[in-house]
Amino acid sequence: MKKYIALIIASIVTISCGEEVKKSSLEELNSQRLIIANQLDSLNTKLKTIESEIAKIDPNKKLPIVTAFTVKKDIFKHYIEIQGVVQADKNIEIRPELGGTVNSILVKEGQKVSAGQLLIQLDDTSIKNNMDELNTQLSLAKTTFERQERLWNQKIGSEMQYLQVKAQKESLENNLASIKTQARKMKIIAPFSGIVDVIYPKNGELTNPQMPVIRLINLDKVYVEADITESYLPVIKVGTEAILNFPSINKEITSEIAQIGHYINPDNRSFKTRINISNKDQSIKPNLLADLKILDFEATGITIPSNLVQQDQTGADYVYIIKNEDGQNKIVKSLITITNEYQHNVFVTEGIAENDVLANAGARLIKEGDIVEIRTN
């Protein structure tokens, strides 16, 4: 075989340095050049065939080693990643409608309470005294009115007297109703069922409507609120998949967009989104930070690891496909079109097809046309 290669080389030298080319007409020179070029092409083809045969039988020939990746279709998802904050609709600070001294605190911090339950009683002694006085006055006014009414029905007395007595009774009734309303406002009542998180005043302290007295929280249902840049308006919809991760408590929840704001904040060009989440174990607290992944692209197609993709000098993306030719694994360069990329995977729309075999490990050390050896991991 080596003798045959030597003969080929000798032929090339003979053609290159053989008979002196006669300087004649341009047509003759072009004709001679074409003959020599055809001979070279033929010899190159034979040389490649011989090298291929040598590669098959030469035990000392070392081929580049690569691993293979078989292309499959898969669901590709791309998410935008932002931060959000946990909020709760039932998270309030209760303030008294009227100022007063704390007479008794009927609950403890951390205690579960029901809607309508009395939490704090403010001092209503003066209100009760006024109520007793009004009740006495009202009792007398009712008796006077009833007598005056009987006389009026008998056409005794003047109409003016009857109307004055009636007005006095009704005025006292209205005053009593107002006093009773004030008395109710001296009682701090739970507006919904929940947990008493903080009790601010102590017994004997004076409160006023500007001071909170109790923080009441119900954490059965909470939500995450986040700001998303306006460029995502076309793709973020109600029902869009969202994955919420709470690093502080090592918890992840899959949910969906429940509400989208209709107002663009001019300061940061964003709109608000709301994601409702169930919180039966009460582990998620208001103002807890959440890492959000919101789906903005999903498609079924060719998905490959991004480390298989290389770039040429022009910036074009390509991969190396392993083709089986005559029992050998030959490397073929294929330009590809990448539509999207997320977490070390790329979605490819052109350049490769399902079941193509790509060079994986070792692909950076080979070139197009190489014959390689495939090694399993």
Q: Would you mind telling me the total number of residues written for the chain in this entry?
A: 377
Q: How far is the C-alpha of 349 from the C-alpha of 352, rounded, in Å?
A: 8
Q: What is the percentage of the chain residues whose pLDDT exceeds 90?
A: 51
The structure tokens 């692909």 sit at 363
Q: What is the DSSP letter of 22?
A: P
pLDDT at residue 199 tops 50: yes
pLDDT reported for residue 215: 95
Query: What are the Cα distances from residue 247, in Å, to 244, 252, 288, 291, 329?
Result: 10, 8, 10, 8, 47
pLDDT reported for residue 277: 92
pLDDT reported for residue 377: 62
CATH class of the domain whose range is 80-90+218-298 = mainly beta
Phi/psi class of residue 333: alpha, beta or left (left: φ > 0; alpha: ψ in -120 to 50)?
A: beta
Of 21-25, 112-116, 301-305, where does mean pLDDT reach its minimum?
A: 21-25
Domain locations along the chain: 2-57, 65-74+300-374, 80-90+218-298, 96-120+189-217, 124-185
171-174 long-range contacts (CB < 8 A, ≥24 apart) are: 172/134, 172/137, 172/138, 172/141, 173/138
pLDDT at residue 60 tops 60: no
Task: Provide the pLDDT confidence category of residue 183 given band limits of 50, 70 and 90.
Answer: confident
pLDDT at residue 202 tops 70: yes
DSSP letters along 322-355, please? EEEETTEEEEEEEE-EEEEEETTEEEEEES--TT
CA atoms within 13 A on the CB side of 72: 5
pLDDT at residue 209 tops 60: yes
Amino acid identity for residue 133 in this structure: E
Q: pLDDT of 353-364, one tens digit each? A: 999 999 888 888
pTM above threshold 0.85: no
pLDDT reported for residue 211: 92
pLDDT reported for residue 334: 92
Q: How far is the C-alpha of 248 from the C-alpha of 284, rounded, in Å?
A: 10
Task: Determine whether domain 65-74+300-374 maps to CATH 2.40.420.20.
Answer: yes
Q: How far is the C-alpha of 299 from the C-alpha of 312, rounded, in Å?
A: 27
pLDDT at residue 22 tops 90: no
Q: pLDDT of 261-284, one tens digit each? A: 999 999 999 999 999 998 888 899
SS3 236: coil
Query: What average pLDDT does the segment 157-178 reach?
Result: 85
Query: What average pLDDT does the segment 178-206 reach?
Result: 91
pLDDT reported for residue 367: 86
pLDDT at residue 57 tops 70: no
pLDDT reported for residue 80: 94
Amino acid identity for residue 370 in this structure: D
pLDDT at residue 42 tops 70: yes
Query: What average pLDDT does the segment 158-185 reach?
Result: 86
Query: What average pLDDT does the segment 25-52 reach?
Result: 77
Assigned token pair, 147: 């007598």
pLDDT reported for residue 276: 94
Mean pLDDT over each residue of the chain, to the nearest integer = 86
Query: What average pLDDT does the segment 56-61 reach?
Result: 59
Task: Provide the pLDDT confidence category of residue 6 given band limits of 50, 70 and 90.
Answer: very low
Task: Provide the pLDDT confidence category of residue 1 given band limits of 50, 70 and 90.
Answer: very low
pLDDT reported for residue 61: 62
Query: What average pLDDT does the segment 243-265 reach?
Result: 93
| The CATH number fitting domain 96-120+189-217, selected from 1.10.287.370, 3.40.50.10420, 3.40.605.10, 2.40.50.100 | 2.40.50.100
Q: What is the percentage of the chain residues whose pLDDT exceeds 70?
A: 90
Task: Provide the pLDDT confidence category of residue 56 given band limits of 50, 70 and 90.
Answer: low
Assigned token pair, 53: 């045969």
Q: How far is the C-alpha of 126 from the C-alpha of 52, rounded, in Å?
A: 110
User: Closest Cα to residue 218, out of 277, 273, 290, 280?
Assistant: 280
